[in-house]
Chains A and B, each alone.
Chain A
Amino acid sequence: MIQLENIHRYFQVGEQRIHALNNINLTIKKGEYLSIMGPSGSGKSTLLNVIALLDQPSSGRYRLNNQDVTQLNDEQLAKARRENIGFVFQFFHLIPRYSAAENIEIPLILAGIAAKERKQRVTDALLAVNLQDRAAHRPDQLSGGQTQRVAIARAMIMRPQILLADEPTGNLDSQSGREVIELLENLNQQQVTLVTITHDESLGRRAQRRIRLIDGQIKD
């Protein structure tokens, strides 16, 4: 479902041209659990951003569900993200003035779904992450683990096929980190393609398929 062919990505930093991704070829199948590991600056975030349609490769071809997505305009990209991809961030990225339920609801609002259906889906999503009693709490009233679970519920509310997690446990203690990982893996068992990037070897090893990035190239 994700096919990357000869992907290169360059950045211009001052005078210097940085080769962040160097000829990446990668195919990810539906329902796979993949981890991307590598030291800082190895290009793993750039790769995730390219897969996430947040960044465009400098050259190469990216096919998502057999559709070339390297030539899409802003509106088409936004639609593709909305419908195909869920995000979980290291720093959660919840909107502080909204409650947990409202944060989960945002993608539905953006997609223009009617209020009645939204309410039902948000209730279900809160139930799925076991936070039904925290619906009205604002992010600053939630623990780190709870916050990340709200973020996962938000990522899954549009029922995407792909879930991208960028250091999902990076900001959590080990107990809540484990809960979050179990939740993500549970979703993977329901045929959601899961891609995580992490520094954490023990977390990375849990994936069935692991790739290691060094200096923008895939090793092993």
Chain B
Amino acid sequence: MRYADLINLSYRTVISHKLRSMLTALGLIIGIASVIVLTSIGRGIHTFVLAEFTQFGTNLVAVFPGKTTTLGISGATISTVRPLSLADSLSLSKLDNIIAALPLVQGNARIEAGKKQRRTTVLGVGGAVPEVWKIKVARGRFLPEDEQSNPRAFAVLGYKLAVELYADTNPIGKRLRIGSDRFRVLGVMEKKGQMLGFDMDDTIYIPTAKALDLFDREGVMEIDLLYKSNTSVKSIESAIKRLLQRRHGREDFTLITQDQMLKTMDSILNILTLAVAALGSISLLVGSVGILTIMTIAVSERISEIGLLRAVGAEQGMIFKLFLAEAIMLSFMGGTIGVLIGIVIVQLINFMLPTLPVQMAWLYIIAAFAVSLLIGITAGVIPAMKAARLHPLDALRTE
């Protein structure tokens, strides 16, 4: 028998019971469509989250005090860690290929401006913030670059904080208090929005040295380093390590590159997508049971037909192929409809809810389609074998 005829015959048989085939394929259709929709949402979230993280740029290395790979850090060992100082930051910034170093201290403090008060996040930073974090200054200017060790008491407001404290009036040059210290407002940052729940606009930026005093800290929490994009992460990492080891005498710090962070994030998010895909596959499993059922019924309904085909010259293998082709045809059609419905739903979500991140996960779509064919094959084999094994004479006698 020719393959074109085999395909045609199985198509005809599936089409001849429209309702029954439709209901059988429905499980598969729902399964495939849900895998596509779920993975598209998963992939969308994936892209969205990564975009959130890379909005600060990708050529970043963060240095943290303490070696976190050492197991079981106790209170006693922490005290032996030398804090990262402003001087460390300064000498790091002078390394080759480092564009800027940003010593960071973060805390929470009460701000008083005139009669208004507000608790907000205080970021002790260097002058390189606009460059390193890719945030622009909306009005005025940012903290001066070259006053790390003994800076003047300047502050720059986040967009939201400026609105809250000063409403429509121009805050530049105004004086405010952070805790008990007085600062002069130098600028206002542009609106940046939230990053994973942290409001970047409800902040105030002050020089790192001032923040160290304010929160009574010995060292900074983190030093962010921006490096030239044409240099390799590896060489930058080793240069930083060498320098800090020389200064501290040993490796009591941890480097986290944006690359590493993105990789970790990426793998977590991939697992998320995989998990939702697995969830959707449960309905695929249900769909395969449907096909198995209907094929078993089809074989017992058509025993006399099998007998006839055997009498007019079909060998066992041909009967097997006929029924297997039918199961595959059923799942192929279900799979195709499922893929189309899934894509339409994803487009609808895109159209109706533009803010919800959805992105077609083509790999999963192809995989879902392949799985549907595989389901057809698996669910079809047993009934097809049963059909092929029927004795032609017994089959002919069955009415």
List A residues at the B interface (Cβ < 8 Å). Answer: 49, 52, 54-55, 74-75, 77-79, 81-83, 87, 89, 91, 93, 95, 97-98, 106-107, 109-112, 114-115, 154-155, 158
Beyond A97-B13, A109-B1, whether A81 also contacts B312 by CB under 8 A is yes
Contact A91 B399 (CB under 8 A): yes
Expressed in whole angstroms, the minimum distance between the Cβ of A171 and any Cβ of chain B is 12
Indicate which residue in A75, A81, A95, A112 contacts B311 across the interface (CB closer than 8 Å).
A81
Contact A95 B312 (CB under 8 A): no
Beyond A55-B393, A75-B317, A95-B305, whether A110 also contacts B1 by CB under 8 A is yes
Contact B9 A93 (CB under 8 A): no
In the complex, the chain A residue whose C-beta lies closest to that of B392 is: A54
Q: Could you give 26 example pairs across A and B, Cβ below 8 Å?
A: A55-B393, A75-B316, A77-B315, A78-B313, A78-B315, A78-B316, A78-B318, A79-B315, A82-B313, A87-B311, A89-B396, A91-B399, A93-B307, A95-B305, A97-B12, A97-B13, A97-B16, A106-B309, A106-B312, A109-B2, A109-B9, A110-B1, A110-B312, A111-B313, A155-B312, A158-B312
Indicate which residue in A83, A110, A115 contacts B309 across the interface (CB closer than 8 Å).
A110
* Complex alpha-carbon distance, A78 and B304, angstroms: 17
Residues of A close to B316: CB separation below 8 A: 74-75, 78
Contact B13 A78 (CB under 8 A): no
7 closest A-B pairs by CB? A82-B313, A78-B315, A97-B16, A93-B308, A107-B312, A75-B315, A54-B393
Expressed in whole angstroms, the minimum distance between the Cβ of A166 and any Cβ of chain B is 10
Contact B393 A93 (CB under 8 A): no
In the complex, the chain B residue whose C-beta lies closest to that of A83 is: B313
Residues of B close to A89: CB separation below 8 A: 396
| Docked complex: B11-49 residues within 8 A CB-CB of A | 12-13, 16
* Complex alpha-carbon distance, A93 and B308, angstroms: 7
Contact B305 A110 (CB under 8 A): no
Residues of B close to A109: CB separation below 8 A: 1-2, 5, 9
Contact A79 B313 (CB under 8 A): yes
Main secondary structure on B side of the interface with A: helix
Indicate which residue in B13, B318, B393, B396 contacts A110 across the interface (CB closer than 8 Å).
B318
* Complex alpha-carbon distance, A115 and B5, angstroms: 9
Residues of B close to A115: CB separation below 8 A: 4-5
List B residues at the A interface (Cβ < 8 Å). Answer: 1-2, 4-5, 9, 12-13, 16, 304-305, 307-318, 392-393, 396, 399
Residues of B close to A155: CB separation below 8 A: 312
Expressed in whole angstroms, the minimum distance between the Cβ of B11 and any Cβ of chain A is 12
Residues of A close to B16: CB separation below 8 A: 97
Contact B12 A93 (CB under 8 A): no
Residues of A close to B304: CB separation below 8 A: 93
Expressed in whole angstroms, the minimum distance between the Cβ of A45 and any Cβ of chain B is 9
Contact B313 A158 (CB under 8 A): yes
Expressed in whole angstroms, the minimum distance between the Cβ of A193 and any Cβ of chain B is 17
Expressed in whole angstroms, the minimum distance between the Cβ of A143 and any Cβ of chain B is 20
The interface centre, meaning the residue of A55, A98, A109 with most chain B CB atoms within 10 A of its CB, is A109
Residues of B close to A78: CB separation below 8 A: 310, 313-316, 318
* Complex alpha-carbon distance, A148 and B328, angstroms: 34
The interface centre, meaning the residue of A81, A110, A115, A155 with most chain B CB atoms within 10 A of its CB, is A110
Indicate which residue in B2, B13, B313, B318 contacts A81 across the interface (CB closer than 8 Å).
B313
* Complex alpha-carbon distance, A155 and B312, angstroms: 8
* Complex alpha-carbon distance, A211 and B311, angstroms: 24
Residues of A close to B313: CB separation below 8 A: 78-79, 81-83, 107, 110-111, 158
* Complex alpha-carbon distance, A44 and B4, angstroms: 40
Residues of B close to A114: CB separation below 8 A: 2
Residues of A close to B1: CB separation below 8 A: 109-112
Expressed in whole angstroms, the minimum distance between the Cβ of A82 and any Cβ of chain B is 3
Beyond A109-B5, A112-B1, whether A49 also contacts B393 by CB under 8 A is yes
Residues of B close to A112: CB separation below 8 A: 1-2, 5
Residues of B close to A55: CB separation below 8 A: 393
